[in-house]
Amino acid sequence: MDRETRDMLLDTAGRFFTERCGKEIVNGVEKGIWPADFWKEIEEMGLPLTAVPEDKGGVGGTLADLMAVLRLAGGHAVPVPLAETALAAMLVAAAGGTPKPGPAALALGPLAMAGGRLTGKVERVPFAGPAERFVAIADGMLVVVARANARVTLAPSHAGEPYGTVVFENAPAEFAARSAVTVERARELGALARAMQMAGAADKILATTVEYSKQRVQFGRPISTFQAIQHMLAELASCVAATIASAEAAARDADEGGLADGGSFSIAAAKTQASDFAQRIAALSHQSMGAMGFTHEHILHHYTRRLWVWRRDFGSESFWGEKIGAAVAKAGPPALWPALTESRYAS
């Protein structure tokens, strides 16, 4: 979509998240309450179909458009599988299928496909709980399996969201087709989505912490005037800026390079950066806000706990750092400097 249309979409989505995604929604999900009305409104807005072509019932946006929406969602701690469902819908459409309504989850792991049936086990699947179907990639096939044909064991994340282990035992496919997207590439796209969500959450954490530091008064003056707090805020701002910059660069490179393999190196760098800084951003914000930041009543933990969880989703900093090291080693010494200074890198 063009820039004007994207801006309209983001403005509408931003106002919707601000009005509807309050802490009662987030806290409710942590207690096991699925926000059915909230999800229905998200679907009615077409957000899960942002990157699905119009002839497949979608909005007709690009991967970059979707990533912009996900950064916005991360900035509101949206506690539903918008990222997972949107990526699943995009992959199904790219394989020639038509996405169905309802929340979906990505089951990316060591799976096998034979005779139109899927077998295998995937642990720690985000939003396995409310998912009505699972999208997987096995033996070069994109496979959609209905929830009724999978066995789900819930294991909530540290943010209280309904993660779980999914087991397929000769499960019949609801849809299956050859796909140009490999399971490794699907994991990259998942990592990109998380990097953008982390960028949105990190930005919100910074804004929240700075605002609190300006309002909190001790010894007759705002704590933001104390040198120790200023140092922490400066470090926090630099970590957030690096997280946002790397995620935005990866989203651009992935969009320009194409769905099958665009921006692979940038994605690895962005997820490494975001995951590496996640704990530091959380620590600095909580230290700056003191006791208030640790209370359940305050919203800060909605974001910091998600950073801790998203840090591991679709590969931790160690996982992606190893990928970067392998790519640089394969390319050889002449490629090292360009890899460090350019946004794109060809392995």
pLDDT of amino acid 223? 87
Residue 347: per-residue pLDDT: 40
Residue 13: both structure tokens together: 């989505």
C-alpha span between 334 and 347 (Å, rounded) = 12
Is residue 77 within 8 Å of residue 303, measured between CB atoms? yes
pLDDT in tens, the chain (347 residues): 888 999 999 999 999 999 999 999 999 999 999 999 999 999 999 999 999 999 999 999 999 999 999 999 999 999 999 999 999 999 999 999 999 999 999 999 999 999 999 999 999 999 999 999 999 999 999 999 999 999 999 999 999 999 999 999 999 999 999 999 999 999 999 999 999 999 999 999 999 999 999 988 888 899 899 999 999 999 999 999 999 999 999 999 999 999 999 999 999 999 999 999 999 999 999 999 987 877 888 999 999 999 999 999 999 999 999 999 998 899 899 888 887 777 554 44
Q: Helices in 155-263 by DSSP H: which ranges? A: 183-215, 227-257
Calpha distance 36→59 (Å, rounded):
22
Give the separation between CA 198 and CA 125, rounded to whole angstroms: 18
Report the distance separating Cα 331 and Cα 337, nearest Å. Answer: 11
Find the largest Cα–Cα distance for the chain: 73
Q: How far, in Å, CA of 52 to CA of 85, rounded?
A: 11
Backbone dihedral region of 33: left (phi > 0), alpha (psi from -120 to 50 degrees) or beta?
beta
Could you give the CA distance from residue 308 to residue 329 in angstroms, rounded to a whole number? 30
Task: List beta partners, residue 133.
Answer: 104, 146
Q: How many CA atoms lie within 13 A of 181 on its CB side?
A: 25
Q: Which tokens go with 187?
A: 């994991």
DSSP per-residue codes, 17-77: HHHH--HHHHHHHHTT---HHHHHHHHHHTGGGTTS-GGGTS----HHHHHHHHHHHHTTT
Measured distance CA(1)–CA(64) in Å, rounded: 10
pLDDT attached to residue 346: 41
Q: What is the pLDDT of residue 344?
A: 52
Going from the N-terminus, what domains does the chain have, and what CATH number goes with each? 3-178 (2.40.110.10), 183-341 (1.20.140.10)
Cα separation, 134 vs 214, in Å, equals: 46
The pLDDT assigned to 297 comes to: 85
Q: Looking at residue 343, what is its pLDDT?
A: 55
Give pLDDT, residue 50: 98
Backbone phi and psi for residue 124, each to the nearest 5 degrees, phi listed first: 55, 55
Structural contact between residues 127 and 105, judged by C-beta atoms closer than 8 angstroms: yes
How far apart CA 296 and CA 27 sit, in angstroms, is 9
Run of H or E residues at 5: helix 3-20
Q: Count how many residues are written for the chain.
A: 347
The residue among 131, 108, 107 whose CA lies nearest residue 39 is 131
State phi, psi for 236 to the nearest 5 degrees: -60, -45
